[in-house]
């Protein structure tokens, strides 16, 4: 074995060992919550049960991490985008709001806690959040999306939320494909009404291309195919 062959062999071994350590790190610290976990509703407003004869409004928006372009962004740009979002929400005056892809200290959005920034400007809303993409360190694709990823679903409500739950969606992927894959989930909020039954609000974002079934508490099945 000549000198160059030895160097190439050593280089291949180093790269292979590095990849092995990285994959082992991802597996060891993979975000893997229970199928259903209760989520605290913060700043929960104290209101009476919803009157069933009254109309209510709801809006939903994919925040896209507060990033306007698929490139490196500055802190000021992210803060401005989240501020504009808060101003739009205040102007719309909706009763309930669903948000997707709101970051909490992700590298791609300059490690800003967007949830804290947003909710500080929306003090009239109670809120709950649940992560649906949480990766300790993403190597590929290199560039603005490299680094820590913590992406969340957020439910906002002007009315008292009785209970919020993060419900994991089932997938048929082998375990090794889930290491850096999104963890698809629903964020469910329940609100009392004057009629007795609860108003159930379901914030759902399906990121992976899957066909899956969601089972509700009374035994009904709903098929979602993407």
Over residues 80-120, the pLDDT tens digits come to: 888 888 888 899 889 999 999 888 888 777 888 999 999 99
**Distances, alpha carbon 112 to alpha carbons 89, 129, 136, 187, in Å:** 20, 16, 16, 22
Is the model more confident about 165 or about 212? 165
Where is pLDDT greater, at 20 or 134? 134
| pLDDT for 142 | 55
162 in Cβ contact with 29 (< 8 Å): no
Q: What angle do CA 115, 116, 119 make, to 5 degrees?
A: 80
pLDDT tens for 172-199 read: 666 666 666 667 788 999 999 888 888 8
Contact 6, 12 (CB under 8 A): no
DSSP string, 128-184: EEEEEEEEEEE-SS-STT-EEEEEEEEEEESS--SEEEEEEPP----GGGSSSS---
Quick check: 129 and 15 in contact, CB under 8 A? Answer: no
Core vs surface per residue 53-62: b (16+ CB within 10 A) or e:
eeeeeeeeee
- Chain segment 192-215, per-residue pLDDT in tens: 988 888 889 999 887 654 444 444
Between residues 158 and 2, which one has the greater pLDDT?
A: 158
Instruction: Look at residue 143 in the predicted model and tell me its pLDDT.
Output: 56
Interatomic CA distance for residues 183 and 152, integer angstroms: 10
């Amino acid at each position: 074995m000549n000198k160059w062959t030895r160097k190439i062999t050593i280089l291949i071994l180093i790269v292979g060992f590095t990849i092995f350590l990285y994959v082992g790190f991802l597996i060891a610290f993979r975000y893997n919550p229970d199928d259903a976990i209760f989520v605290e509703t913060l700043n929960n407003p104290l209101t009476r049960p919803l009157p069933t004869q009254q109309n209510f409004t709801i809006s939903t928006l994919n925040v896209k991490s507060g990033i306007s372009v698929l490139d490196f962004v500055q802190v000021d740009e992210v803060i401005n985008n989240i501020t504009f979002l808060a101003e739009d929400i205040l102007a719309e005056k909706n009763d309930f709001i669903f948000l997707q892809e709101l970051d909490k200290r992700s590298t791609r959005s300059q490690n800003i806690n967007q949830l804290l920034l947003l909710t500080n400007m929306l003090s009239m809303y109670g809120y709950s959040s649940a992560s649906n993409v949480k990766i300790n360190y993403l190597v590929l694709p290199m560039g603005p999306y490299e680094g820590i990823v913590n992406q969340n679903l957020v439910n906002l409500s002007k009315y008292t939320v009785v209970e919020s739950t993060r419900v994991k969606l089932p997938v048929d992927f082998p375990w090794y494909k889930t290491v850096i894959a999104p963890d698809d989930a629903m964020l469910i909020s329940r609100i009392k009404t004057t009629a007795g039954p609860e108003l159930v609000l379901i914030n759902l974002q399906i990121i992976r291309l899957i066909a899956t079934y969601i089972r509700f508490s009374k035994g009904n099945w709903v098929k979602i195919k993407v």
